[in-house]
Amino acid sequence: MTEFQQIERKQITFGGKPVPVAVVHPLDRASKAPSVLKGLVRGMRLTLGYFLRPWKVVTRQYPENRQTLRFPQRYRAMLTMIHDSQGFHRCTACKLCEKACPNGSIRVITQKGLLEGVNKLDQYIWRMDSCLLCNACVQACPFGALKMTHSFENAVYDRRLLVYNLNRYAGPPAKVLAAEPDTAKRRQMMEPRGRFDGPLPLNEGLKPVLAKTQESPVRETSA
């Protein structure tokens, strides 16, 4: 189908002047007709083949196949802080993830700890509405405190519900807490934090920047 028709270019004299013309032979075009029709029929046979074999349908019906959905292991849909069986997390509030995040979707808020000079985690604010799920924070964390999970059903009606705390308690990480034998004292070191503590209402202190010269929220919110 890609062979071009024969075009014969020659010069004729018209009114005494030489004029270049291209002569197209119409029967050349007509001789392509059978191959054109064959191509059309081939296409129609293909679609009819799929129509007559409805078992070849490849659709995965989402709401009905929820129980059997499998994703690649590296699929990233939501960030979580890993809490072990005793409920301890591993975050030391070193803020490496906050620095690694390309657009400031993580804010780590710290408070002075019982141990002198060492800050502990107060709130770990993660903005799902601006997170690009790039995994930089997970890779940057030297303690492996973060993890990306497969839970993708996160549609909301209100944008404020996409900014929340990832840590369930404010306090030292698992290493420190495990070294403390007394459970009562341990519980005293941990203050529970809810999912929406702090960030709601939306971003009163977390305004995005419009240009580099304007205020940068990084300096604003560290305690």
Q: Which is nearer to another protein, 180 or 197 (CB)?
A: 197
Binding residues with another protein: total (CB under 8 A) = 58
CB contact at 8 A, 170 and 120: yes
Q: Which is nearer to another protein, 19 or 48 (CB)?
A: 48
H/E segment holding residue 139: helix 136-140
Site for another protein in 124-183 (CB under 8 A): 127-134, 151-162, 164
Q: Using the rule CB under 8 A, is 46 a contact of another protein?
A: yes
Q: Using the rule CB under 8 A, is 9 a contact of another protein?
A: no
Site for another protein in 81-110 (CB under 8 A): 102-105
| Among 219, 195, 194, 193, CA closest to 207 | 219
Among 54, 72, 117, 144, binds another protein (CB under 8 A): 54
Q: Which is nearer to another protein, 22 or 58 (CB)?
A: 58
Full strand arrangement of the beta sheet holding 163-165: 106-112, 119-127, 163-165
Among 23, 50, 191, 215, binds another protein (CB under 8 A): 50
For the bound state, the minimum distance from the C-beta of residue 206 to another protein, rounded and expressed in Å, comes to 10
Q: Which is nearer to another protein, 148 or 180 (CB)?
A: 148
CB contact at 8 A, 109 and 125: yes
Report long-range pairs for 199-202 (Cβ below 8 Å, ≥24 apart).
Answer: 199/125, 199/127, 199/160, 199/163, 199/164, 199/165, 200/160, 200/163, 201/160, 202/159, 202/160, 202/163
What's the DSSP call for residue 32?
T
Task: Name residue 165's beta-bridge partners.
Answer: 125
For the bound state, the minimum distance from the C-beta of residue 72 to another protein, rounded and expressed in Å, comes to 11
Q: Is 171 helix (H, G, I), strand (E, B) or coil?
A: strand
Q: Using the rule CB under 8 A, is 32 a contact of another protein?
A: no
For the bound state, the minimum distance from the C-beta of residue 158 to another protein, rounded and expressed in Å, comes to 5
**Site residues (vs another protein, CB under 8 A):** 40, 43-44, 46-48, 50-51, 54, 56-63, 69, 75, 77-78, 80, 102-105, 127-134, 151-162, 164, 194-197, 200-201, 208-212
